């Protein structure tokens, strides 16, 4: 009798296993990792030593990978991007020993451990090997639901019966990842808003039926510039040319032309002749003066006005490639350097169809249940 008492005092757990529940089970995520037989903060706790050390660290790695594998970096908000956080409790015996007791323990631990109170994307897995029970408790926004967890468990039931716990649990984590991502579907493509450029204007574009070019509106400052600056400049240049140079240009040729020894103009030279085909010094007399003032007139007046008018009309019309003055593309297609806007519109749109999933993201709606699992007895 004395030997029996001594044996019970020295080895109390050899006969009577600890009855675990949510309130005496150590939390590996909150500093109790040594009681869980882990060397540092972990997501798995195995205080009874059901698993080998290698299996514990392998499962801890898989639990942490579940969060990164179920992340959705294309989502808009932090919680939509965040993946599923998972923790696991492995014990020999749960207080009560029934499936309902294991279910209650898992859900109580999910509330007590507060793994993800902000986004509500956490699961707690409880395995009771002597009771042959398994359960997954889930937060409201985990995209895998009670019936699906039960189905995943049933697919691994034979491995639990063979006591191959590590492989069964690894497969369950893999299946959870696959089930979540299967609900994403293909990203939605942006709707084609149609071309609203010339010849293909929508009903609200103000164009006449059948399309056609619409004259852009011209602001008042352009008319002031045209009447007050451009036209007077052109008139002054014309007056100078007519008054000062016209009288001198009638003789054509001159001694200056002979001294420079340039070929004569085959079209008649003189003041009224055509300009030389090569950029050589103009002949003397009226031809040189006429060419000089023609250059002044064309470059200083007509070319500047034409260039300004051309740029203005092209920018107002939107046909010039999204260049300066903030004009960009205004409904005339994606041309020139302003085509980035069109490329961005062609990118997929990631949403979850108002919480239903299938638009590139898995469902984000809240679904309340107690999780899933069962017995392999």
Burial class for 208, CB neighbours closer than 10 Å (0-12, 13-18, 19+): exposed
Run of H or E residues at 167: helix 165-182
Give the pLDDT score at 16. 56
Asked if 293 and 240 touch (Cβ cutoff 8 Å), the reply is: yes
Q: Which residues on neighbouring strands pair with residue 86, listed in sequence order?
A: 123
* 48 assigned to some structural domain: yes
More confident residue, 376 or 244: 376
Asked if 366 and 98 touch (Cβ cutoff 8 Å), the reply is: no
271 pLDDT band, cuts 50/70/90, is very low
Distance in angstroms (rounded) separating the CA atoms of residues 360 and 348: 9
Asked if 81 and 73 touch (Cβ cutoff 8 Å), the reply is: yes
Identify which of 161, 53, 67, 115 has the alpha carbon closest to the alpha carbon of residue 153: 161
* 315 assigned to some structural domain: no
246 pLDDT band, cuts 50/70/90, is low
Contact residues for 149 (Cβ-Cβ < 8 A; gap 6+): 136, 138, 176, 371, 372, 373
Question: Is pLDDT of 75 > 50?
Answer: yes
Helix axes 231-240, 285-296, angle to 10 degrees: 180
Work out the average pLDDT over 299-328: 46
Could you read off the pLDDT of 184-230 as tens digits, one per residue?
A: 988 888 766 554 444 444 444 444 444 444 556 677 777 777 787 78
Give the pLDDT score at 334. 34
Q: Is the pTM above the cut of 0.85?
A: no
* 140 assigned to some structural domain: yes
Count CA atoms within 13 Å of residue 224 on its CB side.
3
Give the pLDDT score at 208. 43
Question: Is pLDDT of 13 > 90?
Answer: no
Residues of the domain holding 180: 34-184+367-375
258 pLDDT band, cuts 50/70/90, is very low
* 348 assigned to some structural domain: no
Question: Is pLDDT of 72 > 50?
Answer: yes
Could you read off the pLDDT of 337-369 as tens digits, one per residue?
A: 334 444 556 788 898 988 899 999 999 999 999
Burial class for 77, CB neighbours closer than 10 Å (0-12, 13-18, 19+): exposed
* 162 assigned to some structural domain: yes
Question: Is pLDDT of 5 > 80?
Answer: no
Could you read off the pLDDT of 79-119 as tens digits, one per residue?
A: 999 999 999 999 999 999 999 999 999 999 999 999 999 99
The count of structural domains within the chain is 1
* 103 assigned to some structural domain: yes
* 26 assigned to some structural domain: no
Distance in angstroms (rounded) separating the CA atoms of residues 28 and 85: 14
Helix axes 165-182, 146-155, angle to 10 degrees: 140
Run of H or E residues at 126: strand 122-128
Give the pLDDT score at 80. 94
Eight-state DSSP code of residue 85? E
* 237 assigned to some structural domain: no
Domain CATH for 61: 3.10.310.50
Give the pLDDT score at 40. 94
Distance in angstroms (rounded) separating the CA atoms of residues 107 and 93: 17
Contact residues for 102 (Cβ-Cβ < 8 A; gap 6+): 94, 126, 128, 131, 133, 134, 135, 373
């Amino acid at each position: 009798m004395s030997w029996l008492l001594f044996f019970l005092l020295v080895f109390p757990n050899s006969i009577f296993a600890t009855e675990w529940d949510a309130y005496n089970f150590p939390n590996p995520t909150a500093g109790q990792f040594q009681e869980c037989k882990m060397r540092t903060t972990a997501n798995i706790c195995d205080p009874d030593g059901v698993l080998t050390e290698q299996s514990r660290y392998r499962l801890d790695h898989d639990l942490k990978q579940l969060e990164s594998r179920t992340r959705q970096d294309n989502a808009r908000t932090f919680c939509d991007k965040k993946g599923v956080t998972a923790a696991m409790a492995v014990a020999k015996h749960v207080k009560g020993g029934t499936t309902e007791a294991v279910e209650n323990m898992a859900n109580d631990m999910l509330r007590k451990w507060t793994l993800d109170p902000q986004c509500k994307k956490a699961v707690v897995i409880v395995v009771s090997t002597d009771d042959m029970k398994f359960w997954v408790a889930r937060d409201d926004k985990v995209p895998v639901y009670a019936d699906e967890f039960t189905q995943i468990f049933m697919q691994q039931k034979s491995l639990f019966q063979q006591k191959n716990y590590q492989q069964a649990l690894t497969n369950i984590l893999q299946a959870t990842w696959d089930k979540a991502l299967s609900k994403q579907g293909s990203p939605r493509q942006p709707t084609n808003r149609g071309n609203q450029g010339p010849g293909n204007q929508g009903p609200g574009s103000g164009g006449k039926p059948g399309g056609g070019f619409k004259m852009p509106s011209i602001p008042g400052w352009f008319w002031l510039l045209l009447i007050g600056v451009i036209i007077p400049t052109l008139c002054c240049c014309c007056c100078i040319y007519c008054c000062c140079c016209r009288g001198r240009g009638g003789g054509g040729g001159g001694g200056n032309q002979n001294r420079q020894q340039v070929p004569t103009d085959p079209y008649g030279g003189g003041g009224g002749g055509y300009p030389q085909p090569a950029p050589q010094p103009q002949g003397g007399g009226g031809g040189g003066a006429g060419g000089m003032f023609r250059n002044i007139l064309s470059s200083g007046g007509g070319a500047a006005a034409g260039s300004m008018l051309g740029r203005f009309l092209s920018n107002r019309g939107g046909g010039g490639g999204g260049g300066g003055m903030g004009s960009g593309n205004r409904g005339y297609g994606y041309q020139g350097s302003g085509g980035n806007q069109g490329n961005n519109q062609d990118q997929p749109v990631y949403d979850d169809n108002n919480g239903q999933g299938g638009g590139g993201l898995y469902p984000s709606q809240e679904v309340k249940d107690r999780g899933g699992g069962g017995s392999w007895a």
